[in-house]
Amino acid sequence: MTELMKLREEIDRIHADLERQCAGLTDRAALEAFRVEFLGRKGQIGELFRVMGRLAPDERAEAGKLLNGLKTVATAAFEDRRNDLEGTTLRARLAAEKVDLTLPGVYHSLGHRHLLTQVQNEIESIFLRMGFDVTTGPEIESEYYNFEALNIPADHPARDEWDTFYIDDTTLLRPQTSPVQIRVMEQTDPPVRIICPGRCYRRDTQDATHSPVFHQVELLWVEEGLSLANLKYIIELFVHEFFGKGYQMRLSGDFFPFTEPSVQMHMRADRASDWLELGGAGMVHPVVLANVGYDPKKVTGFAFGMGIERMAMLRYGIADIRTFFTNDLRFITQF
């Protein structure tokens, strides 16, 4: 047998061998081993090229063709297998990482304004439409603004009505928004037309209707020629705007050192229901007007203070004031 014939047989054997092996390759490592085995520099095909040296010159061209053919076949088999394997890997990855678009999404719950803030905003917008400005004052207040200027001298028994938290002898947490009346009038000449919403503090024991922290909205209108009739009109307008046209209001006598006369405001849904208290009000006391440098003979004014929690409780039928502050989501998310 000539060298060339031997070479042909060897090529056929390797050819069959590599095709069989190639078909069984299932991973990258095996594929690489295959490449080294057949196509590597010291691989089976590479070794065959050495035989060339032993061939007669006229046989070499033919042998070269055969060997190159084998190399091409091996390279093609290797590359096909590699592409197959990569495709399989990719498909496996795609299958594993598949996003199921039919699954429900992840919902982020949006927050919203607390009921008290909603009610406060609504009250503000009602009075803004009537031409009032919205102002604020400090929650840490001096005794002067909270009492003296409001015609409640030291030792006056009326101080007992406001169970006040004192910070020191002359500083306190305001128990009402009325001191803002003084601050505003000190800064402005009449006419004055403001409301002031804000937090108040009282040394009350907590129960269904008392909370040491609560909110009030104060109203103050000072101008020439105002009377209790104007106050009554404004309150009625407000009750109709906030609660609805079907609601009625009523004023009855009361006492506050900073108003004269003083009244209590009530409202009710219809003739059958009970009167519910909204807050205190009255014509600004002449002493208070004089305290801020106004001339009580020229201007008169009226003021009221209402509890914001109370208004929310009346409108939404909330029985316990503490629910506003305990942050129970079952309550908060209802509004």
Shortest Å distance, C-beta 292 to ligand PHE = 15
Q: How many residues bind ligand PHE (CB under 6 A)?
A: 11
Nearest distance in Å: CB 264, ligand PHE? 9
Q: Which is nearer to ligand PHE, 306 or 312 (CB)?
A: 306
Handedness of CA 38, 43, 44, 47 (dihedral sign): positive
Give me the least distance between CB of 108 and ligand PHE, in Å please.
41
User: Residue-wise over 133-157: b if at least 16 C-beta within 10 A, else e?
Assistant: eebebeeebbbebbbebbbbeeeee
**Which tokens is 258 given?**
């900073």
Selection from 271, 35, 265, 256 nearest residue 147 by Cα: 256
User: Measured from the CB of residue 135, what is the shortest distance to ligand PHE in angstroms?
Assistant: 15
Evaluated on CA atoms 160, 161, 163, 164, the torsion sign reads: negative
Q: Which amino acid is at 163?
A: D
In the complex, minimum distance from the CB of residue 280 to ligand PHE, in angstroms, rounded to a whole number: 3
Among positions 133-162, residues that touch ligand PHE (CB under 6 A) are none
Beta-carbon contacts of 239 under 8 Å, excluding residues fewer than 6 positions away, are 247, 248, 249, 267, 278
Using only C-alpha atoms, the chain has a radius of gyration, in whole angstroms, of 46
Site string for ligand PHE, 261-300 (x = CB under 6 A): ------------------xxxx------------------
Count CA atoms within 13 Å of residue 327 on its CB side: 1
Check if the beta carbon of residue 77 is closer than 8 Å to that of residue 37.
no
Among 135, 151, 164, 259, binds ligand PHE (CB under 6 A): 259
- Minimum distance of ligand PHE from residue 295's CB (angstroms): 20
- Kindly tell me which of 78 and 256 has the beta carbon lying closer to ligand PHE: 256
Can you tell me which residue has the tokens 């190639």?
22
Q: How far is the CB of 114 from ligand PHE (least distance, A)?
A: 22
Minimum distance from CB of 224 to ligand PHE (Å)? 20
- Quick check: 185 and 299 in contact, CB under 8 A? no
Residue 248 has phi, psi (to 5 degrees) of -115, 155
Site residues for ligand PHE, 90-129, by CB under 6 A, read none
Stretch that binds ligand PHE, among 61-69, 96-104, 133-141, 303-311 (CB under 6 A): 303-311
Residue 18 or 196 with smaller CB distance to ligand PHE: 196
CB nearer to ligand PHE: give 184 or 281.
Answer: 281
Per-residue x/- mask for ligand PHE, residues 176 to 205, rule CB under 6 A?
x-x---------------------------
Determine if 305 is a binding residue for ligand PHE (CB under 6 A): yes
Q: Is the dihedral of CA 45, 51, 52, 55 positive or negative?
A: negative
User: In the complex with ligand PHE, which residue's Cβ is closer, 35 or 264?
Assistant: 264
Nearer to ligand PHE, 294 or 304 (CB): 304
User: Which residue among 34, 238, 304, 324 contacts ligand PHE (CB under 6 A)?
Assistant: 304
161 DSSP assignment: G
- Residue showing tokens 């060298």: 3
Q: Which residues would be at the binding site for ligand PHE (CB under 6 A)?
A: 176, 178, 256, 259, 279-282, 303-305
